[in-house]
Amino acid sequence: MSGNITLTMIKPDAVRKNQIGPILKMMNEAGFRIRGMKYTRLSKEQAEAFYAVHRGKPFYESLVEFMTSGPIVAAMLEKEDAVTAFRELIGATNPANAAPGTIRALFAESVQNNAVHGSDSDENAVIESDFFFSKVERF
Ligand code: CMP
Of 114, 119, 124, which is best to mutate to test ligand 1, by the most ligand atoms within 8 angstroms of its C-beta?
Answer: 114
Residue-level pLDDT at 1 = 56
Residue 75 contacts residue 7 (beta carbons within 8 Å): yes
Q: Write out the CATH class of domain 5-137.
A: alpha beta
pLDDT given at position 108:
98
Give the number of C-alpha atoms closer than 13 A to the C-alpha of residue 47, restricted to the C-beta side: 22
* Contact by Cβ (8 Å): 23, 86: no
User: What backbone torsions phi and psi does residue 19 show, to the nearest 5 degrees?
Assistant: -105, 10
| pLDDT score at 66 | 98
Whether pTM > 0.85 for this model: the answer is yes
Pocket, ligand 1, Cβ cutoff 6 A: 54, 59, 63, 93, 111-112, 114, 117
CA of 117 to the centre of ligand 1 (A): 9
Out of 82, 116, 117, 118, the active site residue is 117
Per-residue pLDDT, 2:
79
Closest CA to 38 of 71, 14, 63: 71
The ranges assigned to domains in the chain are 5-137
Q: Please state the separation of Cα 34 from the chain's center in Å.
A: 13
* Full pLDDT tens readout for the chain, 139 residues: 578 999 999 999 999 999 999 999 999 999 999 999 999 999 999 999 999 999 999 999 999 999 999 999 999 999 999 999 999 999 999 999 999 999 999 999 999 999 999 999 999 999 999 999 999 999 9
